[in-house]
Structures are given as structure tokens and as C-alpha cells.
Structure 1
């Protein structure tokens, strides 16, 4: 459920357009998408917080959270849980 919504937000925030449609749960994010820099991570977290009504603390965030689209969606699902 969360995977497609997170994917849509990721595509919007990073302006990936049609190229983003090929992303799946196993798609690597951090280090693989040049658009996902530190400022984009902050923007993405804000967008996820707004969309899902969650609060993400700085301590919650690690590189593993942004390892793949699936890991990011799982993180959001756990926060929204």
C-alpha cells in the first residue's frame, strides 16, 4: 500500500518524471539517484510527513532508511503504523 504512494511522492519531489515509473521496491535510492542529495532528502521527508501525517525525528533517519524504495516505504509504514 505504502510503496506506490511513497514512489509517487519521490517522483514528484525529485522531478523524475517518466524515468521514475520504473522504480520498484528493490530500486536503490541513496547514492544511485543523483537527484537525491541532502536537500532533496529534507524536502522528501517533509513531503512524506505532510502526506502521511507522520513525524520523523532526526534520530529516526539513517542511510539504511533510504537504501531502497522498499526500505523507505517500510519506514513510512512503521511510522504511520
Structure 2
């Protein structure tokens, strides 16, 4: 499984970006930069990531830094899979 492309796919689906996420680079800012990524979308995104990758995320594991950029989100998912 290619973690990066799966995360991009989840982003695109949850935020209804219609393929825009496929053009994101690792340093593409997310939170505060993508209008579709509001607080409700963050919850939906976390849920979708949990389902796609088969792990659970505790509230204390998540803060704004996870959603700083595409790269930080991918790093978070990779870290969860490595534990």
C-alpha cells in the first residue's frame, strides 16, 4: 500500500476536492489553507483515515500540527502504522 497516495485519496474523497488533492505536494498547507477543511471536516477526515488504515486515533494524539501540510498528515499516518 502506498501511504501517500492513500492519504491523498482520503483527502480528496472526504473534502470533495474532485481530484485537486492529486496535485498537492508534501509541503502543501492544509488547515487554514483549504476552505473545505473546517473543524467538521477534520473529524470526518480522521474517521475516514481510521477506517482506511485500520487504526484508531485518540483525542490526545491529534492537534493542529498534524494538519499543517500534506507531509505532516502522511507522517502522522505512517507513524500510527509503525506502532
TM-score band by shorter chain is over 0.9
The match for 1:42 is 43
Question: Normalization by structure 2: what TM-score?
Answer: 0.93
Separation in 2, partners of 1:2, 1:68:
15
The match for 2:62 is 61
Shift in Å at residue 66 of structure 1? 0.3
Asked whether the equivalents of residues 65 and 71 of structure 1 are also in contact (C-alpha less than 8 Å), the reply is yes
Work out the number of aligned pairs and report it: 81
The match for 2:81 is 80
Moved over 4 A (4+): none
| SS of equivalent residue, structure 2 residue 29 | coil
Question: Normalization by structure 1: what TM-score?
Answer: 0.95
Separation in 2, partners of 1:64, 1:55:
18
Separation in 2, partners of 1:65, 1:8:
17
Gaps of 5+ in 2: none
Q: Higher relative contact order by CA 8 Å / sep ≥ 6: 1 or 2?
A: 1
Separation in 2, partners of 1:4, 1:19:
13
The match for 1:12 is 13
Gaps of 5+ in 1: none
